Amino acid sequence: MHRGAPASLLDPGTEADPHPLHRTLRGKFPLVHDEPFGAWLISRYADVRAALADPRLVPPSPGPVPAHGACRAVVSQALGDRVPAALRAGVERTAHVLASRLAFRQEADLVAEFCQWLPAAAAVAALGLPYEDTARVHAWCRTGLDHLGGHHPGLAAHLRPHVAARRAHPGDDLLSALCAARPDGRPLSDEAVTGLAATVLGAAGETTARALASFLTNLLDHPRQLDLVRARPELAGAAWAESLRRDPPLQIVARRALEPVGPVPGGATVACLLGAAGRDPARFADPDRYDVFRADPGGLAYGSGPHRCPGAALARLTAESGLRALLTVLPDLRRAPGPRPRAEGLVSRSPRTLPVCPR
Ligand code: HEM
């Protein structure tokens, strides 16, 4: 174990291509302090998995939202493994509408015109907000609302009347479930409910949007595998899981050490590098390759252990519905000529554009 990293996540060039640094870290510096980044880096699959489930390593700060664990429980229960049928139908309908809008276009950018809209619409529907709110969520996600602790000044004010309405007349949506939750025997405050709803909107509008962009990029970059998924739609789930392994939208999950853990001092920040773990050759054969037939893609993109993401089922539904609609409505969909879109971002990472020929 070395105390000093050979290079830093903040070095120029790492954001453009973090994989060379990831290789060095996994190979020679599996637990190392990155001083400029201000965190201890963990990069091997087995170590990341263990760290995420270690009770001595906790999420850095619950942010403005109390009872964050309660959110996880409520979201898990409401969306769980089975997304409600009405929500599923709504997401499928929206995917179809969005894909149909591209049907007569020569060129389009799937990130701006599809990936950023479908997950936002899915989260709006899950919370039981009016469909028109999708445009607001889309705008908030482009200006500061993100996964975990997402915050936007206009958001709380916008949600407050909806919270009041659900308290008076509960429905069967996620916002009503948050209003009805009693984590400590008492209902959550309005501030907590709006904070948790913001997390759901940010998680979908930002993180799922990024994951969808990488997913569609991977498939369009591998036309033979795309043809296979087109012919055998039951492969869509494996294709999605494989994209999350290879290109997780959240590349880094942070933890704070409650006490000394090996060389890591108490109070220090630990960065679990999901992007490095997903391409660990000790865990995955030929890890840089995108392969829809990979038997076990590992599943670390959602974290692991007690804090594992409770939105996985909604994210998967969104991705599968999106892909199905695109393949049905746009049978000739392919990448537009030109350079491959580059992924950007150190913590949240995905291609910012995906130019395609819809017909
Ligand atoms: C592909 C899409 C998504 C990915 C890759 C993803 C990934 C993650 C990750 C890595 C974490 C942190 C886990 C940890 O700290 O160990 C997390 C937490 C969380 N996610 Fe997601 N997420 C996605 C979509 C969603 C969606 C759609 C929702 C809402 C419906 C959601 C709600 C949450 C919540 C509430 C937490 C906090 C859990 C806690 O603190 O205990 N996520 N997610």
* Ligand 1 mutation pick, 87, 147, 212, max ligand atoms within 8 A of CB: 147
- Smallest CA separation from ligand 1 atom 15, residue: 307
For residue 145, count other CB atoms closer than 10 A to its CB: 24
Residue type, 259: E
Question: Among 184-188, 271-275, 298-302, where is mean pLDDT lowest?
Answer: 184-188
pLDDT of residue 2: 52
Question: Among 179-188, 266-275, 306-315, where is mean pLDDT lowest?
Answer: 179-188
62 against 141, higher pLDDT: 141
Give me the residue label for tokens 């007569």: 104
pLDDT of residue 199: 86
pLDDT in tens, 84-104: 888 999 999 999 999 999 999
pLDDT in tens, 112-158: 999 999 999 999 999 999 999 999 888 888 776 766 555 677 888 89
Q: How many CA atoms lie within 13 A of 237 on its CB side?
A: 8
pLDDT of residue 66: 45
- Smallest CA separation from ligand 1 atom 35, residue: 72
15 CA to centre of ligand 1 in angstroms: 22
Is the pLDDT reported for residue 73 higher than 50?
yes
Q: Which of 248, 265, 230 is nearest to 315 (CA)?
A: 248
Confidence of residue 205 (pLDDT cuts 50, 70, 90): confident
For residue 110, count other CB atoms closer than 10 A to its CB: 28
* CA separation for the pair 46, 125 (Å, rounded): 37
> DSSP class of residue 52?
H
* Ligand 1 mutation pick, 87, 253, 269, 309, max ligand atoms within 8 A of CB: 309
pLDDT of residue 325: 98
Question: Among 184-188, 280-284, 297-301, 336-340, where is mean pLDDT lowest?
Answer: 184-188
- Smallest CA separation from ligand 1 atom 7, residue: 302
Cα dihedral 26, 32, 35, 40, rounded to 10, equals 100
Ligand 1 binding pocket, CB closer than 6 Å: 52, 59, 68-69, 71-72, 75, 79, 147-148, 199-200, 203-204, 207-208, 211, 248-250, 253, 301-303, 307-311, 314-315
- Smallest CA separation from ligand 1 atom 6, residue: 302
Q: Which atom of ligand 1 is nearest to the CA of 255?
A: 15
Task: Walk me through the domains of the chain, giving residue ranges and CATH numbers.
Answer: 19-357 (1.10.630.10)
302 CA to centre of ligand 1 in angstroms: 6
Q: What is the mean pLDDT of residues 5-13?
A: 90
Long-range contact set of residues 28-33: C-beta below 8 Å, sequence gap at least 24: 28/2, 29/1, 29/2, 29/5, 30/1, 31/1, 31/262, 31/263, 31/264, 32/1, 32/2, 32/3, 32/4, 32/5, 33/3, 33/4, 33/5
pLDDT in tens, 237-252: 999 999 999 999 999 9
pLDDT of residue 65: 46
pLDDT of residue 348: 94
248 CA to centre of ligand 1 in angstroms: 12
> What average pLDDT does the structure give for the chain?
91
Is the pLDDT reported for residue 61 higher than 90?
no
Cα dihedral 216, 217, 219, 222, rounded to 10, equals 170
pLDDT in tens, 148-202: 555 677 888 899 999 999 999 999 899 999 999 887 788 888 988 888 888 888 8
- Smallest CA separation from ligand 1 atom 25, residue: 311
- Smallest CA separation from ligand 1 atom 43, residue: 309
228 CA to centre of ligand 1 in angstroms: 29
* CA separation for the pair 43, 275 (Å, rounded): 8
Burial state string for 35-57 with b = 16 or more CB within 10 A and e = fewer than 16: eebebbbbbbbebbbebbeeeeb
Question: Among 1-15, 100-114, 307-321, 339-353, where is mean pLDDT lowest?
Answer: 1-15
pLDDT of residue 144: 67
Token readout for 9 is: 């996540």
Q: Which of 248, 321, 319 is nearest to 52 (CA)?
A: 248
Strand partners, 344: 350
- Smallest CA separation from ligand 1 atom 8, residue: 302
Confidence of residue 35 (pLDDT cuts 50, 70, 90): very high
pLDDT of residue 148: 58
Q: Which atom of ligand 1 is nearest to the CA of 274?
A: 10
* CA separation for the pair 181, 166 (Å, rounded): 12
Which backbone phi and psi does 294 adopt, to 5 degrees? Answer: -60, 130
Q: What is the mean pLDDT of residues 226-242?
A: 96
Confidence of residue 106 (pLDDT cuts 50, 70, 90): very high
Give the CA distances from residue 199 to residues 71, 137, 141, 245, 289, in Å, rounded to whole numbers and listed in that order: 9, 12, 11, 23, 32
* Ligand 1 mutation pick, 79, 302, 320, max ligand atoms within 8 A of CB: 302
Give me the residue label for tokens 């990488």: 214
Query: Beta 269-273 vs 31-34: how paired, if at all?
Result: unpaired
